[in-house]
A and B are shown apart, each in its own frame.
Chain A
């Protein structure tokens, strides 16, 4: 562990407010938080949290940094983001390991997350030459009308523990290519990965003589988070977290007419039709429900299975769960690590009590694994008599609810009945069923897949969902537009002053 920390410039005690290579801000009033390894319960290192004073220091430099960054041509900004990607390539191994150490996802997923950071930097480089605006034919003679996209300013990025570095990169790389600076508040469960990333960004910024572009303020939500969402110097807040917190963020930012990108809760289902390839479906369900110990926004939480294959599918999923190797996530061969906190374990157990009260039959798991550690649980499969109240709730843990349907209309109704709308999938070999699921009368989610699962999105697509998932889009496609302001421009190159709609005024 010590070697990993050294490679990433982490110390026993780290400062949690930074705006550039020589701008780490420490306030004696800052409280320390300890980052614990969820696998062992042992402390990894400490972080001195940001205070009102150090938050202000960081914000001031982020706002100042924007003035220089916004006038740099976008393709040059893209080259600097490319350098960030190169720097991440060099530390993929230790940074991926740190993700595993600090939040408990398995090593392959930790490294995959860093790869996602690299991928989005590559994407942002290309994007930096493609920040296109439309041009329109003006109705007035000798006039030209077009639109251009300008950066917004310093952008607040608030991320969750489950993707402690990738979600920052989705936001920061795109925001930077667009000409914005970012101020990051990571989860208090994963402050060390954030500091490691800040060090990496600082090295790149030092090479270019820049500061205030990538900034971090680590602190409690009630202190730093509330300050950010109410701060008019942050015109956009990109928030990843729960629906309940997203509502609070949305209301606070809307009060000051700021913008939000919200990536909130999911309650993702896989519909398995009677003609599905069950082998493929089971492998996908296993990855979707057990991967990251069920702590992804896109984790598979519900299986809506045709009654004719329900028994066989349930048996196959149970058999697959029996093969899952649970243990230290840093070890090769482990498929599931611990939950992030003891509180998360309590939350899971309380949800399972409710599921049983509501008629659920636990087909597999349902228990803690104290021999492995306090935060280890068995991934759990619960057959439900219907889509009861608990199934409508997102429990951030490896609980998979199984339900049956009779026809595709019922499957889609069940699928869309929950308040969340992030990711969805159907397994079918019938073209008509697949198209129906993807159509406007099918899945109501932001992501809808056929014959692949609900989790494991690529960076090239826009990521986000509808309804209580918040409606925001991050990462690829044209999600960049959320980080810029659109300006419509009309230029009159005549000697006349014609008005639109043919209006005559004082002629």
Chain B
């Protein structure tokens, strides 16, 4: 049974003796009770802590009567249970109170049994709601592997596979768009395996020029190049016994591809400028947002390296293809960010959730996380609504007009990708795809043949 003191009650009455006597009586019943002497005082107190039940006197001076107080409290806390109490009962006030969302309307003085039953009935419902919320959280933990949260069938298969391969030494290749959580999967694999106690070293291959990356990965000897005043260990050595995560592996130069292939084959390498072989025991997890198989086909990526990396292949679907994860992830970010920001925002309204579900999320989970944080920063209530996510619509429109193609992409490559994607969307229907692309069927056939697009 939940402790009653978990539930806080606020008694709002301008007559101190009224408020204090009811508060004392409720305290004897085990509740934590505060009192407020006016509507304004009540709203201020409600802004500082959550109350399960509000007893609000109908007639209060100072411009804020019970109904107005109730409306303001409800704006602060949509799920608050508000009981209007009055010594001057009329049918009109009762109807108004109930219309404006009062849970009950009681006339004072009232029978102790009436108040006792009313409070215990409300608390019983609140306890059930809390239990329900705890169970939902427990359930959401079942959708978890490391810091990755998902309930989509595709992702659950991926998480299961990741868990299964965690204790192996095999190389893993994670493919997925930017922001899908490739590094989180890599970290989860590392943390769940036998190497968890050893380092996890992440390197972004796209961030550094070829020579710098080589030195970064393999280290260098003193005097290897200008500025190399002393020997330096590389990331492979730093990851000894653990895992090295090579992000954006598709961007590495042909020379580095050869060096990397050697590490994967021989488990050893030379520092830049060095002649001594360095042996390492490191598990490699690589990731890329580009289609590496396509890069191999285009001759931009070594096939032998690809096959070495692609021992275990994990393809993370973009967020728009697993929309069922959006509420789960948004809820997770909401909880975490509200804690970090020290803000009491606990819900996303139905309207807010609809905006999130309708958005295309080109930046995937990272974009969703940023969107929740941005909405939280400006949010003035305890709930994120569609208004708090209005910026998504603006960004979406901007994105449509400023699409940024991958660097080095040719018109032909773009055309090939566009045709392949359209065919996939139309299920291989040539007539429909030609209509979407705005070309005739014979032209489409000719392009499919020329680009060797599978149908």
A and B: bona fide binding partners: no
Chain A residues within CB distance 8 Å of chain B: none
Chain B residues within CB distance 8 Å of chain A: none
